[in-house]
């Protein structure tokens, strides 16, 4: 054993790729990123904005669309990004990349550890479910 993590041999994202190749390319979308009124017909062979080879950092909160109808069609029917608080391509790709490396079907990236803990608890617990936790999660000064 080399101590190197070994994801599942085959999975939805693995498809016979070496770990190095998977680490390099995992999470990069293979379908068009629909944002700013761009439709899949405009994207031709590239799936990333401005023919980029890797997804650029999206430092934006909103995306422009050509019309209200285009926005409605792309956001509601095709899953386009429209507002940063709802989602941006970079965190989604990070979640997909980690999932691929771990051999999982899906992954979610959060901005903080508490965000991850909250998401995990809120997605699995119902009102009234018991939770066992330590009294103080952080060291006192």
| pLDDT tens by residue, 39-82 | 444 434 446 666 777 778 888 788 888 898 988 888 887 777 77
The conformation of residue 54, written as its DSSP 8-state character, comes to S
Fold of 19-120: 3.40.640
pLDDT-derived band at 7 (thresholds 50, 70, 90) equals very low
pLDDT of the residue at 29: 67
pLDDT of the residue at 5: 47
Q: Are 7 and 19 in contact (CB under 8 A)?
A: yes
d(CA 107, CA 115): 14
pLDDT of the residue at 121: 94
pLDDT of the residue at 46: 44
* Residue 51 Cα to chain centre, angstroms: 20
Surface-to-core class of residue 74, CB atoms within 10 Å of its CB (0-12 exposed, 13-18 middle, 19+ buried) = buried
* Residue 106 Cα to chain centre, angstroms: 8
* Cα-based angle 42, 76, 33 (whole degrees, multiple of 5): 35
d(CA 76, CA 96): 21
Q: What is the percentage of the chain residues whose pLDDT exceeds 90? A: 11
Nearest partner of 119 among 127, 111, 129, 131, judged by Cα? 111
pTM, to two decimals: 0.61
pLDDT of the residue at 127: 94
């Amino acid at each position: 054993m080399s101590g190197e993590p070994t994801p599942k041999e085959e999975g939805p994202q693995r498809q016979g790729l070496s770990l190095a190749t998977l680490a390099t390319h995992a999470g990069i979308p293979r379908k068009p990123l629909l944002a700013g009124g761009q439709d899949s017909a405009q994207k031709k062979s590239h799936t990333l904005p401005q023919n980029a080879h890797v997804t650029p950092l999206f430092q934006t909160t909103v995306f422009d669309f050509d019309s209200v109808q285009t926005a409605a069609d792309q956001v509601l029917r095709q899953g386009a990004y429209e507002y940063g608080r709802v989602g941006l391509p970079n965190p989604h790709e990070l979640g997909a990349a980690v999932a691929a490396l771990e051999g999982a079907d899906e992954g979610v990236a959060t901005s903080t550890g508490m965000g991850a803990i909250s998401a995990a608890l809120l997605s699995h617990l119902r009102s009234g479910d018991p939770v066992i936790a330590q009294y103080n999660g952080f060291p006192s000064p």
